[in-house]
Amino acid sequence: MLQTLVTIHSWTRWLVLAALVGAIVVGVVRFRAKAEWSPHLHQVAVMAIDIQVAIGAIIWLFYDGAKRGFFYAVLHPVAMLLALGVAHAGFAIAKRRDEPRSWVIATSAYSVALLLIVGGIPWDRL
């Protein structure tokens, strides 16, 4: 069962990356067009990270994550939790402001989250 979760977690990383890249591209395009703030795609990106982190937490807790070496025990979870926090903070601030500049706030936060995620992914497990 847990190995199935590891496989799901490994494959859904691509959904998270695609959602973040999509949110960043839409944010840049919508900001340049001076469009009204709309949280829908950004909400999907944050939810994708939420689900991925939840699956990862289950794996870490029940699949001896703390015993699988420094990368899996510390670096990977810390990077992903930081990315989750940055994405949530950016989304919350942008949603609260509800103005065209909200695109910049959310896009900046998702760019930082994307960098954290890409840096924390174990690329040897494609």
Residue whose pair of structure tokens reads 């990077």 in the numeric block: 79
Whole-prediction pTM value?
0.89
Distance from chain centroid for Cα 74: 17
At residue 80 the predicted structure's pLDDT band, cuts being 50, 70 and 90, is very high
The reported pLDDT for the residue numbered 95 is 86
**Range with the lowest mean pLDDT among 26-40, 46-60, 75-89?**
26-40
Residue whose pair of structure tokens reads 């069962």 in the numeric block: 1
Percent residues over pLDDT 90 in the chain? 59
| Residue closest to 103 by CA, chosen among 19, 21, 36, 50 | 36
